[in-house]
Amino acid sequence: MADSTAQPSRSRDLDKLLLRPGHLVGPNFEPGAELRDDIKTYAKVLVVGAGGLGCELLKDLALSGFCNLEVIDMDRIEVSNLNRQFLFRLEDVGKPKAEVAAKRVMERVCGVDIVPHFCRIEDKELDFYSDFSIIVLGLDSIEARSYINAVACSFLEYDSEDNPQEETFKPMVDGGTEGFKGHARVIVPGVTPCFECTIWLFPPQVKFPLCTLAETPRTAAHCIEYAHLIKWDEVHAGKTFDPDDPVHMQWVYSEAVKRAELFGIPGVTYSLTQGVVKNIIPAIASTNAIISAACTLEALKIASGCSKTLSNYLTYNGVEGLHTKVTEFVKDNDCLVCGPGVLIELDTSVPLRKFIDLLEDHPKLLLSKASVTHRGKNLYMQAPPVLAEMTRSNLDVALFDLMDKVPKDIVHVTGTAGKSGNKQSCLRKLRVAFKGINGVTEMGMAGGA
Ligand SMILES: [Zn+2]
Q: Name the band, by pLDDT with cuts 50, 70 and 90, for residue 205.
A: low
Q: What is the mean pLDDT of the chain?
A: 89
Mean pLDDT of the 35-64 span: 95
Q: Could you tell me which residue, 203 or 101, shows the higher pLDDT?
A: 101
- The per-residue pLDDT for 419 is 66
Distance 171 CA to ligand 1 centre (A): 13
What is the Cα–Cα distance from 275 to 427, expressed in whole angstroms?
31
**pTM of the complete model:** 0.76
Closest Cα to residue 198, out of 163, 162, 149? 149
Q: Looking at 22-26, 121-125, 355-359, 444-448, which range is the least confident one?
A: 444-448
Q: Looking at 130-144, 188-202, 386-400, 408-422, which range is the least confident one?
A: 408-422
- The per-residue pLDDT for 282 is 77
% of the chain residues with pLDDT over 90 = 61
Instruction: Give the DSSP H/E element, type plus range, for residue 72.
Output: strand 68-72
Distance 337 CA to ligand 1 centre (A): 5
Annotated catalytic residues are: 211
- The per-residue pLDDT for 313 is 96
Give CA separation, 108 vs 102, 113, 136, 376, 413, in Å. 10, 11, 21, 38, 41
Distance 191 CA to ligand 1 centre (A): 10
Specify the 3-state DSSP secondary structure of 157.
Answer: coil
- The per-residue pLDDT for 447 is 36
Distance 336 CA to ligand 1 centre (A): 7
Starting at the edge strand found earlier in the chain, the sheet holding 408-417 runs 342-346, 424-434, 408-417, 367-374, 377-380
Mean pLDDT of the 364-385 span: 89
Contacts of 407 (CB under 8 A, 6+ apart): 433, 434, 437, 438, 440, 441
Contacts of 171 (CB under 8 A, 6+ apart): 133, 134, 135, 152, 186, 187, 188, 302
Q: Name the band, by pLDDT with cuts 50, 70 and 90, for residue 441.
A: very low
DSSP structure class, residue 227: I
Distance 187 CA to ligand 1 centre (A): 10
Q: Name the band, by pLDDT with cuts 50, 70 and 90, for residue 423.
A: confident
Distance 362 CA to ligand 1 centre (A): 19
Q: What is the pLDDT of residues 187-201, one digit of tens each?
A: 999 999 999 999 888
Q: Is 61 within 8 Å of 47 (Cβ atoms)?
A: yes
Amino acid in the structure at residue 357: D
- The per-residue pLDDT for 449 is 34
Distance 145 CA to ligand 1 centre (A): 13
Distance 193 CA to ligand 1 centre (A): 5
Distance 179 CA to ligand 1 centre (A): 27
- The full set of domains in the chain, from first to last, is 8-202+283-327 (3.40.50.720), 210-277 (1.10.10.520), 342-448 (3.10.290.20)
Distance 371 CA to ligand 1 centre (A): 22
What is the Cα–Cα distance from 10 to 3, expressed in whole angstroms?
12
Cis peptide before 116 (omega within 30 of 0): no
% of the chain residues with pLDDT over 70 = 93
Neighbours of 268 (CB within 10 A): 24
- The per-residue pLDDT for 363 is 85
Distance 75 CA to ligand 1 centre (A): 28
Distance 310 CA to ligand 1 centre (A): 18
Neighbours of 288 (CB within 10 A): 24
Q: What is the pLDDT of residues 59-115, one digit of tens each?
A: 999 999 999 999 999 999 999 899 889 999 999 999 999 999 999 999 999 999 999
Q: Name the band, by pLDDT with cuts 50, 70 and 90, for residue 213.
A: confident
Distance 146 CA to ligand 1 centre (A): 10
Distance 172 CA to ligand 1 centre (A): 13
- The per-residue pLDDT for 448 is 36
Distance 169 CA to ligand 1 centre (A): 13
Mean pLDDT of the 152-176 span: 91
Locate the DSSP E strands across 337-436. Answer: 342-346, 367-374, 377-380, 408-417, 424-434
The pLDDT of residue 301 is above 90: yes
Distance 369 CA to ligand 1 centre (A): 23
Q: Name the band, by pLDDT with cuts 50, 70 and 90, for residue 204.
A: low
- The per-residue pLDDT for 442 is 45
